[in-house]
Amino acid sequence: MELSPEIATRLQTVAIQFVPFVMAVVFHEYAHGFIAYKYGDKTAYEQGRMTLNPVPHIDPLGTIVFPLLGMLSGISFLFGWAKPVPINPTRFKEYRKGLFWVSLAGAGMNFLLAIVSSMAYCALRAWAPADFYLYEPLLGMCVASITLNFALGIFNLIPIPPLDGSKVVQSFLPYEAARKYESIAQYSFFIVMALLISGAFQILAYPVLFLSKATLTLMALLFNLPVEIG
């Protein structure tokens, strides 16, 4: 049975986007666990979660079902997550400093992956033969990785508990204020879903596209490639 062009295109999108997506969420969670370990919290290590093996991090809904449905439906905002790495801030050597840097680690890792992906994109353009049979798919995966990592990093910095941005805010708050702020987490799923359904998250497309284009442009200059790429 021959697939329609639309279905074939969407399946191709899944093939190009899914691996970068899984890498983005797995590296994100690993970064939380790694920095927590550095600040004295070995919870993630003790539970086998301080690993780049994707299996322990996979959430059936967040890592597989939601992202695949999003890719197949062609929505512009890809929604998904991995199992959160267990963090116990009471084990930090320095509570506020540890909470701040552990919270930023996930987004920081995503921004780093976006930069590395832009380097890989330009390296392929500069050195790989254009007739290499994986040339176009690999370029597509690099571009997907850039945009997905910037999107995931920026999304997680939104200060809605329990997203990472809220933990950054909590690192500056007194105990009672932080506890009340964290209580919003019981409503966070509904808040996020309402924002997603309403299309409010579309505003994130502007910084994501700007950072993606800026990173690729700077990297193209570094590799002495034409700026009009991608």
Q: What is the pLDDT of residue 4?
A: 63
pTM of the model as a whole: 0.90
Burial of 191: CB neighbours in 10 Å, binned 0-12, 13-18, 19+:
middle
Q: Look at residue 63 and tell me if it is in a domain.
A: yes
Each residue's pLDDT tens digit, 175-189: 899 888 888 888 888
Q: Look at residue 228 and tell me if it is in a domain.
A: no
Q: Look at residue 230 and tell me if it is in a domain.
A: no
Q: What is the pLDDT of residue 81?
A: 84
Domain that holds residue 200: 5-222
**Amino acid letter at 87?**
I
Total Cβ atoms within 10 A of residue 6: 9
Q: How far is residue 21 from each of residues 14, 79, 142, measured CA to CA in Å?
A: 10, 10, 11
Each residue's pLDDT tens digit, 67-82: 888 777 766 556 778 8
Q: Look at residue 36 and tell me if it is in a domain.
A: yes
Q: Look at residue 227 and tell me if it is in a domain.
A: no
Q: How far is residue 11 from each of residues 7, 58, 67, 70, measured CA to CA in Å?
A: 6, 21, 13, 12
Residues in the chain: 230
- List the chain residues with pLDDT less than 70: 1-8, 74-78, 228-230
Q: What is the pLDDT of residue 71?
A: 73
Number of domains forming the structure of the chain: 1
Q: What is the pLDDT of residue 63?
A: 87
Each residue's pLDDT tens digit, 192-201: 888 878 877 7
Q: How far is residue 144 from each of residues 17, 33, 172, 209, 225, measured CA to CA in Å?
A: 6, 25, 35, 12, 20
Token pair for 172: 């500056």
Token pair for 144: 């997907």
Q: Look at residue 133 and tell me if it is in a domain.
A: yes
Q: Look at residue 162 and tell me if it is in a domain.
A: yes
Q: What is the pLDDT of residue 97?
A: 96
Q: Look at residue 45 and tell me if it is in a domain.
A: yes
Residue 32, CA atoms < 13 Å, CB-side half-sphere? 27
